[in-house]
Structure 1
């Protein structure tokens, strides 16, 4: 079966990674994270923005994949063709063992020059010493490949376009899938929120895994009110109980 998963912040919340809706601490407590994640914020105060992303990168490196990440990787061992489309900027899907991961919003543990796009190895965004728990302002390193450029996090900031390669590959994967699972995402961030419509228009089954109702809930073929890890384990139980069933037959069954 060709299974596609669209994952959001709820996928990594069980690993202790804070979302944009969580209160910030330390130096960052007085800042709105959505104001820090913009090109204009980087232009106005690059040390503040670079320091915040260095702090976030350190927290991601300390986190570990949870049972949901492990379960998604295990789907491949059951013989399914699995594509993960993630709105998250962490690397927990890869660390769990998923082999095909499309990052719509970039990668937190990477940086690139804000002018020429060049990268530095080893990447300074994860360089020692790691930031303290409270974080600190840090001047972003100068680019070694051009005159005047500064390194910035390799993520998509508010107001920036998604990377074409990841976006096009995501649309193609959903258009060809037998089953789409939308896991731990509020469905509020566009254009990613529009992706499930591709499967719905093609008649492919869509399952939402989320403790809370979203705008997708009434359109999905099934809405499992579960956290990400439990929802993925439920899917695995269904697949193991009926390995030859197609997606719609599968959704009509209960886990064995």
Structure 2
């Protein structure tokens, strides 16, 4: 892993981090949601209209769930389109993709330097996303993990919450070595599995 993705490398790595992140942001901007994104969004909307509460938590930093039509996606690792203050003590944050070069824009709260609003290695994942997931896991009917290996926290720890309320856990991942601990493994690509699991 490049040093610029380590939290301990800041602030010295900030110019390199912005240089790395800008082309990645451009690739995300030009990407399109997959079939799985669209199926999941349609299912979430249909279940919400029927009175169910569906919590979508993603480890991805893109906005493909939102562009597919998902009403709300909690991002564990931040967003490629969010800019935050370099100072951990400052709440300065700008959401959205309005600025072409956020690296030159000062923090809207303190005027200091900004950084990409993603979780670097060595940082804590987004607490709002974690709490949203834990709250729903305490009353969930099922936990479906799509694309994750399930080997890292917090997703791996969510298995315990689902088990505590008697909810089955399902992993969608074509890798035969991924995800020990799930009740059911669907060894298919997400685009193939999503229509089978989330018919509306």
User: Which residue of the partner structure matches residue 95 of structure 1?
Assistant: 67
The answer to whether structure 1 residue 127 and structure 2 residue 100 are counterparts is yes
Contact 2:62 2:79 in 1 (8 A): yes
Answer with 1 or 2: which has the greater Rg.
Answer: 1
User: Which residue of the partner structure matches residue 143 of structure 1?
Assistant: 107
Q: What 5-or-longer segments of structure 2 have no aligned partner? A: none
User: Which residue of the partner structure matches residue 92 of structure 2?
Assistant: 118
Task: Tell me, in whole angstroms, the C-alpha distance in 1 between the residues paired with 2:85 and 2:55.
Answer: 29
Task: Tell me, in whole angstroms, the C-alpha distance in 1 between the residues paired with 2:137 and 2:37.
Answer: 20
Shift of 1:154: 1.0
Contact 1:180 1:206 in 2 (8 A): yes
Q: What 5-or-longer segments of structure 1 have no aligned partner? A: 1-31, 129-137, 241-256
User: Which residue of the partner structure matches residue 223 of structure 1?
Assistant: 185
Shift in CA distance, 159/46, structure 1 to aligned 2, threshold 3 Å? same
The answer to whether structure 1 residue 169 and structure 2 residue 132 are counterparts is yes
TM-score normalised over the length of structure 1: 0.68
What is the RMSD computed on CA atoms of the aligned residues? 2.4
The answer to whether structure 1 residue 189 and structure 2 residue 157 are counterparts is no
Contact 1:199 1:206 in 2 (8 A): yes
Question: In the comparison of the two structures, how many residue pairs are matched?
Answer: 194
Contact 1:82 1:100 in 2 (8 A): no
| Match for residue 155 of structure 1 among 118, 126, 130 | 118
Contact 1:46 1:140 in 2 (8 A): no
User: Which residue of the partner structure matches residue 46 of structure 2?
Assistant: 77
User: Which residue of the partner structure matches residue 17 of structure 1?
Assistant: none
Shift of 1:180: 1.3
Shift in CA distance, 108/127, structure 1 to aligned 2, threshold 3 Å? same
Shift of 1:100: 2.5
